[in-house]
Structure 1
Amino acid sequence: MKGSNLTIRIEPNLKKEVSDLFQSLGLDLSTAIEMFYIQALRCHGLPFSVVTDEEPNRKTYMAMKNAENDTNMSGPFESIDDLMESLDT
């Protein structure tokens, strides 16, 4: 059976990493994508859970903590100009 072509845009480094992963599993990209589609049909949706992080990660918590202690942070600001002036000090 002859398949049809699919063209997608993907970041080159991501394509390389995923190609290497699939190759280590004995798959090429076409086969892996076809497997994904088959599973999506079986699940009637994405074959994995898609959720947002409910909690900020450690890096975000650290940035928030640093912002609390930053004496240059103040607000609320009446305008963008006031905010920018505060950042310049």
Structure 2
Amino acid sequence: MATAVLQTRVDSALKKQADSFFASLGMDTTTAIRLFLKQAINQNRIPFDIVPPQQEEFSAETMAAMEEARNVSRDKKPRSFSSAKDLLEDCFN
């Protein structure tokens, strides 16, 4: 299998933290990145939830909206509407 170089720039402190963390798991950062890429392809999505670093910076309303979006994205049978009018009626009734 031919290989290709994937190069990215990150803050040096972030790299040190990542190197240390992945070493504690018995792997190097390159292996962790490879795992991420393979899982993203296998799952056809980002293979983890993206969580804001400090949730207290967001209002309760924003947090509720983010939770609702997560739930909608995981719904196996999402509701559908035949028109925007039907959607709006459902939302406001």
**Short-chain TM bin:** 0.5 to 0.7
- Whether 1:6 aligns to 2:6 is yes
Report which of the two has the higher share of helix: 2
What's the TM-score, normalizing by structure 1? 0.54
Runs of 4+ aligned residues of structure 1 deviating over 3 Å after TM superposition are none
Question: Take 2:29 and 2:48, find their aligned partners in 1: how far apart are those partners?
Answer: 19
CA offset at residue 29 of structure 1?
1.3
Question: Take 1:45 and 1:60, find their aligned partners in 2: how far apart are those partners?
Answer: 25
Task: Show the 5 A alignment for 1:3-82.
Answer: 3-50=3-50, 57=56
Question: Take 2:51 and 2:16, find their aligned partners in 1: how far apart are those partners?
Answer: 26
Structure 1: unaligned runs, 5 residues or longer = 62-89
Amino acid at match of 2:32: A
- Structure scoring higher RCO (CA < 8 A, sep ≥ 6) equals 1
SS of the residue corresponding to residue 9 of structure 2 reads coil
Radius of gyration: which is bigger? 1
Cα distance change, pair 52–2 in 1 and its aligned pair in 2 (3 A) = same
CA RMSD of aligned residues (A): 2.7
CA offset at residue 12 of structure 1?
0.5
Amino acid at match of 1:22: F
Question: Take 1:45 and 1:33, find their aligned partners in 2: how far apart are those partners?
Answer: 15
Structure 2: unaligned runs, 5 residues or longer = 60-93
What count of residue pairs does the alignment treat as equivalent? 58
